[in-house]
Amino acid sequence: MVIRGTNKVSGFTLLELLVVVTVVAFLLTVAVPSFQNVIADQRSTASINELVESLILARSEAIKRGEYVTVCKSSSGTNCTAGSDWNDGWIVFSNATSAAVNTVGADDEIIRVHQALASTVEFNIVGNVGNFISFRPVGTAGTTALNFSGTLTLCDANDNTVPRGLLLSQTGRIQVSRDVDHDDDPLSCA
């Protein structure tokens, strides 16, 4: 007895392949811009968290050491650079004296250096938080003559994300929000 086998050919037809390619192209057209926004949002979140971490470190070191500790803009990583932007980098340093808390002196110790942020991230400043933020030995924000409070707004240069605000109160409390004044209006980078 002879049994005849059947030859099965498996594969795709040209029509099936064209349908799959069309569906994949459509999905990529929708997904890629959304994915770029997710990446920009993650970059923005990481940047603001890095500054918050430096501020928390400065405050805790001020309390621990019983000295003024300052976070200042620094493009060099060795001293405060008043003309630069926060996105150029910053340093955290302790002040041996309460005088000139915005200048790294010979007896001062640099605790942390933070390099420049991504070129698409920028901080805008509202309030008297400008070139530096100093914490007193008791943990409050300010110098011997000035209390600090204000908002640093993190913006995406390409407008791919909603701005985030870092609110610093005179008590040294740090809050991150997309609506720091709680008026239900989002922050603006304009």
Task: Count CB-CB contacts under 10 A for residue 162.
Answer: 14
What does the pLDDT look like over 61-75, one tens digit per residue? 999 999 999 998 888
Q: What is the largest CA-CA distance in the chain?
A: 107
pTM, two decimals, is 0.75
Q: Is the pLDDT of residue 185 over 80?
A: no
Confidence band for 32, pLDDT divided at 50, 70 and 90: confident
Return the domain boundaries, the chain: 17-177
3-state secondary structure (DSSP) of residue 95:
strand
Top mean pLDDT of 21-35, 66-80, 83-97 is at 66-80
Q: CA 85, CA 87: separation in Å to the nearest integer?
A: 5
Tokens of 131: 């070139």
Q: CA 24, CA 28: separation in Å to the nearest integer?
A: 6
Which CATH number does 17-177 carry?
3.55.40.10
